[in-house]
Amino acid sequence: MKKHIIFGIITAILLLMVIYFLFLATTKKELSFHVEPTGVMMAMVNERNIPLSAKGTGLLVAPNTVTLKAQIAGIVSSIDFVSGQYVKEGQLLMTLDDTKQMADVSSALADFTKSEAQYKRTDTLYKENNAVSQSELDNAKASYMQTKAQYDAALYQLSNTKIVAPFSGHLTLTTLAKGSYVSAGDTLVSLVDKENLQLQYALPESYASSIKLGQTVDFKVDAFPGQVFHAKVDYISPDVSDDNLTFTVRAIFKNTDNLLNPGMSVYVSQIIKENNMVLAVPESALSAQSGGFIVYVIVEGKAKMVPVQIGQIDKGYVSILEGLSKGQEVIVSAEGNISDGVAVKVEK
């Protein structure tokens, strides 16, 4: 009898345990199917003016760049600058020993002065009473002209001992020092006008008819992230490159703050159509996927992924070329992660 009672108690306990676990499983199943929708914010696809611009890359160049070379051989007697210095037009940069040139000038001046006096006397005698012949006058004049040319040449050679800046700009590195010997044609230093720079860049041939002289060009450089500089188009190549089907454009940039340097890479954005009404959505609506971009719309309370083709970006908005229609709404933010098929609810 006691065994039957114990067996009954055990059976009852086991039955209660089975019922309890079945209850837990059912509750978990119900909970697993009850997921709160993700809160999202929406924006409407609408028309917006996003100017059409052409993009390109290129270089900053300094058209006013000159390599100063020695015109005569000689010894450097003074260097009146430091490498990298800014100098003004006409400023003395370097002097070569002028001992020989000064002597040549003195000798040429003496010959010139003598022949000039002789020519004047001969000319006077010829005009007053024909005391000299035409031939003697011609010889005196020829001697005068010859010595004058020799004197001018000596002065020119003397001027070559002083090297001056042909325009204002910055000097590059020089390896010369006082006492260095230079031959005619040797490089002394280079001078670069950094204030008047040019952008040289290439654009696809499809923009050839849209680029005009005088158009404003916006560009950026890696050295100043986020800062936009401005230039004006002053040259458009008349032909297209066979290699990459692009054409060259040049723009003038006034580097008054001396921030940029020749040789810097530039990233160009040139507006070619100011008024350009297109379908657009906020940039925050876009998600990158392999091979392109997507947005999410809501269909029957769930997020639906829609591939889109995008165009220009301007002031936080991106133009939509394909994939959406005017008046549709897209998800621009969410309280959690969004994926295709996730239940969502619109937050006001």
DSSP 93-112: EEEE--HHHHHHHHHHHHHH
Q: State the Cα–Cα distance between residues 160 and 184, nearest whole angstrom.
A: 10
CATH superfamily of 54-63+192-273: Efflux pump adaptor protein, beta barrel domain (2.40.30.170)
Give the type of residue at 175.
T
Q: State the Cα–Cα distance between residues 210 and 204, nearest whole angstrom.
A: 11
- Which pLDDT does position 132 carry in this prediction? 87
- 154-187 residues labelled b (16+ CB within 10 A) or e (exposed): beebbebbebbbeebbbbeebebeeebebeeeee
SS3 per residue for 2-26: HHHHHHHHHHHHHHHHHHHHHHHHH
Greatest Cα-to-Cα distance within the chain, rounded to the nearest angstrom: 178
Cβ count within 10 A of residue 241: 12
Torsion of CA 99, 181, 154, 79, to 10 degrees: -80
- Which pLDDT does position 12 carry in this prediction? 64
- Which pLDDT does position 18 carry in this prediction? 60
* Domain extents in the chain: 1-34, 38-49+277-346, 54-63+192-273, 77-191
Residue range 77-191 in CATH 3.90.1150.10: no
Residue range 38-49+277-346 in CATH 2.60.40.10: no
| Below-50 pLDDT ranges, the chain | 29-32
Topology alike, domains 38-49+277-346 and 77-191: no
Q: Which residues pair with 92 in a beta bridge?
A: 164
- Which pLDDT does position 284 carry in this prediction? 92
- Phi and psi torsions of 255, nearest 5°: -90, 60
- Which pLDDT does position 22 carry in this prediction? 64
Are residues 309 and 274 in contact, defined by beta-carbon separation less than 8 angstroms?
A: no
Q: Is 323 left (phi over 0), alpha (psi -120 to 50) or beta?
A: left
